[in-house]
Copies of this chain bind each other. A is one copy, B any other.
Amino acid sequence: MTQSGIKLYYKNATSEALDQEHGIGLDQLNAMGDRLTSSISKMNREEEDKPAYRSLPYDPDTPERVKELASNLQEQCENLVILGIGGSALGNIALQTALNPYMYNLDKSQRPGPRLFVLDNIDPEQMGSFLHWADDKLDKTVFNVISRSGRTTETVAQFMLVRHLLRHKFGDDGYQERVVITTNVSKAGALLQIAKKEKLACLEIPPGVGGRFSVLSAVGLFSAAMCGIDIDLLLAGARDMDTRVCCGEPLKNPAAIIAAINYYFYNHGKRISVMMPYSYQLKDLADWYRQLWAESLGKAEDLKASEVHVGPTPIKALGATDQHSQIQLYREGPNDKLFTFLQVNNFDRDCQIGPAPDSASELRFLAGKHLSTLLNSEKKATEYALLESKRPCLTVLFDRVDAYTVGQFIYLYEVATSFAGALFGVNPYDQPAVELGKEATFALMGKPGDEYEDFARKIRSVTDIDKAYLV
């Protein structure tokens, strides 16, 4: 077991580091923490109040089933393709970027498993380009189709496309060998029906685990295991974090502090929450967070059915790159953002800067230094500059980036989201507003039924182009 870990550092969001006007006081943080005490104990009880995702790191069966299936498939599989969208893709992408090398897909020597492609859209150009390449490689390609409901339109459409292709090329048996379905088996979604009828390998998503909380289920674990990621270590990290976020003293509980500080600043005019990793590997965890935070906390009604229209807007930025894109706005624009940096203390790989050319002696101070030193100096420089502009900053410190710390991070932010839901007084597990768009898509795609025909006419009356407004 690795000894590495992650820590939350919050001084630079407090009035101690900023001032009374711009930072949160410890008394205010304590008061917020008190409001969380009951939520913490409630969400830790072994009963209905405990969200389903919190059991995932303790599931004894899924990791074994996933590893067994992966080891059966790994030998014949040179390409693994995820067909999924949203919570059925973002976690997979985040794990892959965090725990496998940048050149994984291009460099066989850096790749312990198959190439991984996460096709989380229905773009015809993207899919067309991929299939053109894959055409003579389908023999050694496995498709993992992920949809919790088993009826996600985009995923089902992709699946129908690929199913037709594989059956045409390899017949029924060859098709079956190359498809793994991941879905909720307690609901009778289309994918489950098909999997049963057509005898496809099937991985279960436990009931009650929402898409955005599902990365530590078979949803995220299967592609990770296929690509050589240590899923046991990932889950061990999550379990370690579980003990820390169960702590009933809010100021010793990192998830409670994240929730409290975010909630405080939201109510003090900072409705934008920027997550800014100073690590290429962690960049897609910020994207995963973006869904988790937005979809869980962006709600029209609170738990008492009052209209509230709350929810911070999460933004992903990448250090040092986005210093050259966003920092001008972040420092001088409206003071409406809370910043959360992700910082890596020890990189597994490093690069040394060469000597300065004779014709540019002013560069000598960089010669012989390491990129890791430069990257972390830029993080501190940016944090310093933001503090000078009175902008609050949190940092999640990673001792190193490995499966253990990534498991810790995922679990930390999932629980922080639950706690933030409690403070905002909203249900962090539903997403009622996405239904209308789904129904509208059905209507426009010609789903049978009079109500859909009327609905399609209504939509077109709004979206058809009125040339008077076209320039």
Contacts and interface: CB of A to CB of B under 8 A. Distances in A.
B351 A320 contact: no
B329 A124 contact: no
A374 B326 contact: no
B280 A123 contact: yes
Contact of A433 (B300, B327, B434): B327
A129 B157 contact: no
Interface string A365-393: 11101111111011011111101110000
A105 interface: yes
Interface stretch (A39-47, A68-76, A221-229, A443-451): A443-451
Contacts of A104: 129
A366 B157 CA distance: 7
Interface in A96-139: 101-107, 109-110, 120-133
A86 B325 contact: yes
Nearest to A387: B462
Contact of A124 (B359, B372, B439, B442): B372
Number of copies: 2
A377 to B, nearest CB: 4
Interface in A158-191: 160-165, 190-191
Specify which of A300, A336, A374 lies most central, judged by the most chain B CB atoms within 10 Å of its CB: A374
B445 A363 contact: no
Specify which of A272, A311, A371, A372 lies most central, judged by the most chain B CB atoms within 10 Å of its CB: A371
Given A105-B106, A110-B133, A383-B463, A280 B193 contact: no
Contacts of A272: 272, 313
Interface stretch (A53-61, A201-209, A252-260): A252-260
Given A129-B102, A279-B123, A377-B444, A253 B471 contact: yes
A22 interface: no
A434 B384 contact: no
A325 B290 contact: yes
Contacts of A349: 124-125, 128-129
Contact of A378 (B347, B389, B441): B441
Contacts of A437: 323, 327, 378, 381-382, 384-385
Interface stretch (A5-13, A232-240, A403-411): A5-13
Nearest to A131: B351
Given A103-B130, A349-B129, A381 B271 contact: no
A272 B337 CA distance: 12
B371 A124 contact: yes
A420 interface: no
14 contacts: A102-B130, A106-B106, A122-B378, A124-B371, A127-B351, A254-B471, A300-B331, A328-B431, A331-B434, A331-B436, A380-B440, A381-B437, A381-B441, A381-B443
The 5 closest A-B pairs by CB, nearest first: A86-B324, A164-B354, A298-B329, A381-B440, A311-B333
Given A196-B359, A254-B471, A294-B328, 18 more contacts: A7-B471, A14-B469, A86-B323, A86-B325, A101-B132, A125-B347, A153-B366, A298-B328, A301-B332, A311-B333, A313-B315, A313-B337, A331-B434, A331-B436, A365-B445, A365-B448, A377-B441, A380-B460
